[in-house]
Amino acid sequence: MMQLDNPAGIVVQGTAIYIADCANGRVLLWEKGATSGRAVAGLGSAATGEAICWPSDIAIDSAGTLYVVDGGPRIAAFKNGHGTSFGHGQVVGPSAITIDAHDIMYVLHDGGYRIHKLERGVLSLFWRSTDGTVLYDIAAVGDGKLYAVSNHSSHVKIAAITESSLTIVKEFDQLKGTPCGIAIGPDKSIYVSFAGVRARVAKINPSGWSYVIVACAEPPDTDIGWSGLAADSSGVYAADDTNHQILFWETPKAWKPEV
């Protein structure tokens, strides 16, 4: 996928893979098995109304609206080839976005210290860090609940977030490194990606909190950034922003937990 330059957020819908092509200032639609993609927002696309700059994450609602975390800083929204934007002055340095089954959108910003939500056109504060907790990425579970990934002393933490409340539901002493992505699979499994010389992806079972490593960098000591993360019934996808490609791994059908 040499058309990509620093890919970031990913959304997988059926056979379609949407990619935030960060350094190229666009969002690509790439069909599974294809050798090239086409721009659906930003540089090289036919979309009107909004240009995008350094898109770092994306999400799509049930109506097909494409939301883009823009380096503006703001959120751009594209529907039927036309873009608008919102969040000017309310979101500071947005870094991640997720949408739940009710089309409520959540934006992580302010260096990982705040989350705003967009519900029925109204943007409001959902959560703010009051104890110094920094979040690296968020993923909607449903019913007003998010999972987020953080770390402390290089130990990975999974946090459950509801309105104005954060609870650390699991800390993994054995999972060390810098977490950079989180995704929820169709079976409600939690996927977490890690960047750096120990780049890997862990699949976590929220019932019992066991985990299995489903992907590792090759060779193992390679310094790689896997920022964007997505999962469907066939496996897990990661945006390799070091080698400018999208990676895919089939995930195990049965649990062989390491912990």
Beta bridge partners of 138: 148
Domain count, the chain: 1
CA–CA dist 20, 25 (Å, integer): 8
Domain assignment present for residue 232? The answer is yes
Q: Per-residue confidence at 252, pLDDT binned at 50, 70, 90?
A: low
Range of the domain at 141: 7-247
Q: What is the pTM for the complete model shown?
A: 0.92
In 3-state terms, what secondary structure has residue 111?
helix
Domain assignment present for residue 252? The answer is no
pLDDT of residue 58: 97
As a whole-number percent, the residues of the chain with pLDDT over 70 amount to: 93
Burial zone of 19 (CB within 10 Å; 0-12 exposed, 13-18 middle, 19+ buried): buried
Domain assignment present for residue 199? The answer is yes
Beta bridge partners of 109: 114
17 within 8 A of 60, measured Cβ to Cβ: no
Domain assignment present for residue 257? The answer is no
